Structure 1
């Protein structure tokens, strides 16, 4: 009887602890994003930054972020190539593949930038019409 009562108390205590901890687990802040922003960006503010070339659209800021990203990626690719024990010829092919992928990503980024410029221009026209 004593064992049954103890098991029941322990089970209820564990259940209570789990229920009390669940709101903390489901809280909105699940780590810090690289830009420190959690939610939707203000489209008007983004369009303004795009037109002025400030914030994340600043050429200097963007180039610094991209250079940092490129350096990390090159380091990771070199480590992976070492783990795979690639020959010089294979490394050349490996590097060509990654260069092609980077070029594709750059094209996609340019297309996104153009779309964003068009949207911001349309939004500015609509605001001027009103």
Structure 2
């Protein structure tokens, strides 16, 4: 009798979990703009040109510091040699330069 009750309880529990899973997997976007930064490109470009908001010197320096720490931790986990770390850094610098040029081009097109 106990086995039958346990199997039924497990079945009911599984059914409840499956029924609740769409709600558990759904993300609550209250207060979040899903396309943040894409909605007003003109304002973003103004901030970029004037160095305001997330393009300010202070924000950029703080972000660079965070990213350097993150890259150092990643390099440690990957057990990179000193030579590989130099290459790793150069790759990230190149990506940053490409991003900068892309932003400049995008904002020049917005004029």
Q: What's the counterpart of residue 55 of structure 1?
A: 53
> Matched residue of 2:34: which SS?
coil
Aligned alpha-carbon RMSD (Å): 3.0
Task: Sort the Cα spacing of 1:8 and 1:78 in 2 relative to 1 into closer, same or farther, 3 A.
Answer: closer
TM-score, reference length from structure 1: 0.61
Q: Residues 48-87 of structure 1: matches in 2 within 5 Å?
A: 48-75=46-73, 77-78=75-76, 81=79
| Residue 6 (structure 1) aligned with residue 5 (structure 2) | yes
Aligned residue pairs, count: 105
What residue number does 1:25 align with? 24
Work out the CA distance in 1 between the residues paired with 2:82 and 2:99: 26
Query: Could you tell me the TM-score, scaled by structure 2's length?
Result: 0.69
Which blocks of at least 5 consecutive residues in structure 1 are unaligned?
30-36, 82-90, 125-130
Q: Unaligned stretches of 5+ in structure 2?
A: none
Tell me which residue corresponds to 2:34: 39
Q: Which residue of 2 aligns with 1:16?
A: 15
Pairing partner for 1:101 from 85, 88, 93: 88
Change (3 A) 1:21 1:102: same
**1:117 aligns to 2:101 (yes or no):** no
Which structure has the larger Rg over C-alpha atoms?
A: 1
